[in-house]
A and B are shown apart, each in its own frame.
Chain A
Amino acid sequence: MIRFDRVAKRYPPGLDALSDLSFEVEEREMVVVNGHSGAGKSTLLKLIAAVEKPTAGAVLVGGQNVGGLARAALPYLRRRIGMVFQDQKLLFDRNVFENVMLPLAIAGFPPREAAQRVRAALDKVGLASREKALPVMLSGGEQQRLAIARAVVNRPSLLLADEPTAHLDSETAADVARIFHEFHYVGVTILIATYANELFSGARRLQLDHGRLLP
């Protein structure tokens, strides 16, 4: 599903975020990326969604070299990937329903079918009753679940999550982790960058250290 082939990412003026990184993620696999702050976890995820481009090497997603994609092709790659961002990137002037609706509107779903999918996704993360609420009215855990609902509403085969349980109390964090496990059970390939290993027991671990993969 995902293959990193001797990937390096250097930010100007000469900061190496990732160096000589090679690994593979199989379809339907759940992988946790560990590492200290600044180890390159976020960069790794950004390379997969082609938010960043590698300075060297190749990032293959579904056999496609995403680093070489033209700007016009990026939207179609990203629609196949669900992303939960570290800072969530919710739209605070839109309610819960509209936030989750956005990826479907972008992908051009017919409104009625889209609405059904939005409700199904919200139900899945336990926010079915908060449809009309604005994100500011949600708790931290609810906001995180909203971000997850938005990431999965498109039913992507690949789900990327950057620190999805940070800033959550242990109970809420466990709740969020459970949602990821559920998606894993139904066959979604999942990559999670996190410190909280214990929440994702059973997942394969990739350990990053200063941009390099530890064996």
Chain B
Amino acid sequence: MKVWLAHHAAAFRLALRRLTAAPVNSLLSLLAVGVALALPAGGQMLLANALHLAGTTSAVPQISIFMASNAERKAAAEIESRLGRYGGVKNVQFLPREETLARMKANTGLRDVIEVLPGNPFPDAFVVTATDDRPEAMEKLAVEFRRWPKVEHVQLDSAWVRRLDALLKLGRTAVALLGVLLGAGLIAISFSIIRMQVLTHRAEIEVSQLLGATDGFIQRPFLYYGVLLGLGGGIVAWLLVGAAALWLRAPLGELVRLYDLTLVLQALDVRDSALLLGFAAGLGWLGAMISLRQHLKQS
């Protein structure tokens, strides 16, 4: 067992030595693997954040009621009291137009736009939740509200929750597809890099065979090389995704704030990071294995 470990350690050291012997080559190889992995990993990062966002957002469907912009406060009060009495309404939140304006002005990006507009472009609004939040019941309420005086527009917010859900499903499929595609790409990259390695060390392989080396012995350092390549590429991908998350955090936070949501973009969590590194190492190994099989079969 100890001897076996010592031989694996020796093969590992040899692989490491070969990796560091040509630093520019190795760095570029790691970058190639890293970029290939960063795409699905980045997709997964965005998806995880979107899922988190969807989870924290009230999944309770809401109905937004917008008053006509020329409606007076009295009309709004009238609606508010009607909503309070109306069966099936669970909760009503009144959003006065002044407050909306102030909130929108607080956003530096929108302030300039709002300031050139005459008057207050925002109407009074209500956000209503229903006791029965099934889509059909919600739709019925919306139809009723539309008939009320001075109500300009009624919007069912359950629609966007459903849309988000469908979008996330699509996102998940896209990430999986990207993962499979670029995983295959990684195998191909590893295959050709190991092939180059094998050709570089052809003399050594030949001598080892003449001295009685088994295929296993010959493959070992190359397999470690493949694993290191995948793992190193995985780390590069992880760093790229982490950097992208940091970079996008402020602008994306700003964007979602416009939708009244808060999002602090997170890099990959522990589970996803472990998966990324594990897959990267495994695929590096697989590419190396295929390459070696092919070479040793010929010799």
Report yes or no: B207 in contact with A89, Cβ–Cβ below 8 A. yes
Q: What residues of chain A lie closer than 8 Å to B113, measured between beta carbons?
A: none
Report yes or no: B7 in contact with A78, Cβ–Cβ below 8 A. no
Known pairs A74-B209, A106-B211. 10 more at Cβ < 8 A? A78-B212, A85-B210, A89-B203, A91-B207, A102-B211, A103-B212, A108-B3, A108-B7, A110-B6, A150-B211
Interface size on A, residues (CB 8 A): 23
The smallest beta-carbon distance between B123 and chain A, in angstroms, is 78
Q: What residues of chain A lie closer than 8 Å to B206, measured between beta carbons?
A: 89
A61 located at the interface, meaning its Cβ lies under 8 Å from any Cβ of chain B in the complex: no
What are 5 residue pairs bridging A and B, where the CB atoms are less than 8 Å apart in the complex?
A: A75-B212, A83-B210, A105-B217, A106-B211, A110-B3
Chain B 1-27 interface 0/1 with A at a Cβ cutoff of 8 Å (1 = within): 011001100100000000000000000
- Pairs of residues from A and B, 8 with the lowest C-beta to C-beta distance, nearest first: A78-B212, A79-B212, A75-B212, A106-B213, A103-B211, A75-B214, A89-B207, A110-B3
A192 located at the interface, meaning its Cβ lies under 8 Å from any Cβ of chain B in the complex: no
Q: Report B170-218 residues with CB < 8 Å from chain A CB.
A: 203-204, 206-214, 217
Q: What residues of chain A lie closer than 8 Å to B7, measured between beta carbons?
A: 105, 108
CA distance A102 to B209 in the complex (A): 11
The smallest beta-carbon distance between A97 and chain B, in angstroms, is 13
Indicate which residue in A72, A106, A109, A111 contacts B217 across the interface (CB closer than 8 Å).
Answer: A106
The smallest beta-carbon distance between B23 and chain A, in angstroms, is 16
Count A-B contacts at CB 8 Å. 52
A76 located at the interface, meaning its Cβ lies under 8 Å from any Cβ of chain B in the complex: yes
A199 located at the interface, meaning its Cβ lies under 8 Å from any Cβ of chain B in the complex: no
The smallest beta-carbon distance between A159 and chain B, in angstroms, is 13
Which interface class (under 10, 10 to 19, 20 to 34, 35 or more) fits B? Answer: 10 to 19
| CB-based nearest B residue for A112 | B6
| CB-based nearest A residue for B218 | A106
Report yes or no: B2 in contact with A78, Cβ–Cβ below 8 A. no
CA distance A103 to B209 in the complex (A): 10
* Interface SS, B side: helix
Report yes or no: A49 in contact with B208, Cβ–Cβ below 8 A. no
Q: Which residues of B contact A (CB under 8 A)?
A: 2-3, 6-7, 10, 203-204, 206-214, 217
A136 located at the interface, meaning its Cβ lies under 8 Å from any Cβ of chain B in the complex: no
The smallest beta-carbon distance between B157 and chain A, in angstroms, is 68
Report yes or no: B10 in contact with A105, Cβ–Cβ below 8 A. yes
CA distance A105 to B214 in the complex (A): 11
Indicate which residue in B3, B210, B213 contacts A49 across the interface (CB closer than 8 Å).
Answer: B210
Indicate which residue in B3, B204, B210, B213 contacts A51 across the interface (CB closer than 8 Å).
Answer: B210
Q: Report A35-60 residues with CB < 8 Å from chain B CB.
A: 49, 51
Report yes or no: B212 in contact with A107, Cβ–Cβ below 8 A. yes
Q: What residues of chain B lie closer than 8 Å to A74, measured between beta carbons?
A: 209, 212
Instruction: Choose among B10, B207, B208, B211 the residue with the greatest number of A CB atoms under 10 Å from its CB.
Output: B211
| CB-based nearest B residue for A76 | B212
A77 located at the interface, meaning its Cβ lies under 8 Å from any Cβ of chain B in the complex: yes
| CB-based nearest A residue for B211 | A103
The smallest beta-carbon distance between A134 and chain B, in angstroms, is 14
Q: Report A95-143 residues with CB < 8 Å from chain B CB.
A: 102-103, 105-111
Q: What residues of chain A lie closer than 8 Å to B204, measured between beta carbons?
A: 91
CA distance A72 to B212 in the complex (A): 10
Instruction: Choose among A72, A77, A78, A85 the residue with the greatest number of B CB atoms under 10 Å from its CB.
Output: A78
Instruction: Choose among A49, A74, A76, A150 the residue with the greatest number of B CB atoms under 10 Å from its CB.
Output: A74
Chain A 141-156 interface 0/1 with B at a Cβ cutoff of 8 Å (1 = within): 0000000001000000
Report yes or no: B211 in contact with A91, Cβ–Cβ below 8 A. no
Contact flag A102-B208 (CB < 8 Å), given A108-B7, A110-B2, A110-B3: yes
Q: What residues of chain A lie closer than 8 Å to B3, measured between beta carbons?
A: 108-111
CA distance A85 to B2 in the complex (A): 33
| CB-based nearest B residue for A103 | B211
Report yes or no: B203 in contact with A75, Cβ–Cβ below 8 A. no
Q: What residues of chain B lie closer than 8 Å to A89, measured between beta carbons?
A: 203, 206-207, 210
Instruction: Choose among A51, A75, A77, A89 the residue with the greatest number of B CB atoms under 10 Å from its CB.
Output: A75
Contact flag A106-B210 (CB < 8 Å), given A89-B203, A91-B203: no
